[in-house]
Amino acid sequence: VSSDNGGSAWNFNSPGNNYPLRGNKNEIFEGGVRVQSMIWGTYPPLLSSRMIGHTYSAGFVSIFDWHATFAELGGWTTAGGAEDDHINNGVNYLGDILENRTARPELLFVSGSGSAFLLNGTYKLLEAVPYGPESMNAPNL
């Protein structure tokens, strides 16, 4: 279970709350892109994992990584190589989630508006970042 992105905190008609994270839905600050997610099921390694009831905190996971992880859970494999790049560019995080370790120490994200960020450990580089209600291009109500 996951979400698409942060809450709409700038719009009065759809108040969201991303506290303690900065940012809003569709912005590249943590409040706009970082969300909680959960894995639940009867997969034997998941049932015996020491992570049951705990929070994965070892690294970054993107939607592409969830695709690769769920493909592994479903038993899907590819031959690998360039011919599979269009299918999945994510990292299979299954073993890492079960052991609370990271497979991806960095993450690059580029939004449709041209904003971008690079996460690397505790550092975050932002580029072309609009911020605030005026960045939403929404009518004032």
pTM to 2 decimals? 0.65
pLDDT tens readout for residues 42-54: 888 888 888 888 8
Q: How far apart are CA 76 and CA 16, in angstroms?
A: 37
120 - beta bridge partners? 106, 123
Q: What is the mean pLDDT of each run of 10 residues along the chain (141 residues)?
A: 71 76 79 78 86 83 81 72 60 86 79 80 81 54 39
pLDDT tens readout for residues 84-100: 555 567 778 888 888 88
Q: How far apart are CA 65 and CA 89, in angstroms?
A: 8
**C-alpha distances out from residue 34 to 48, 77, 116, Å:** 27, 28, 14
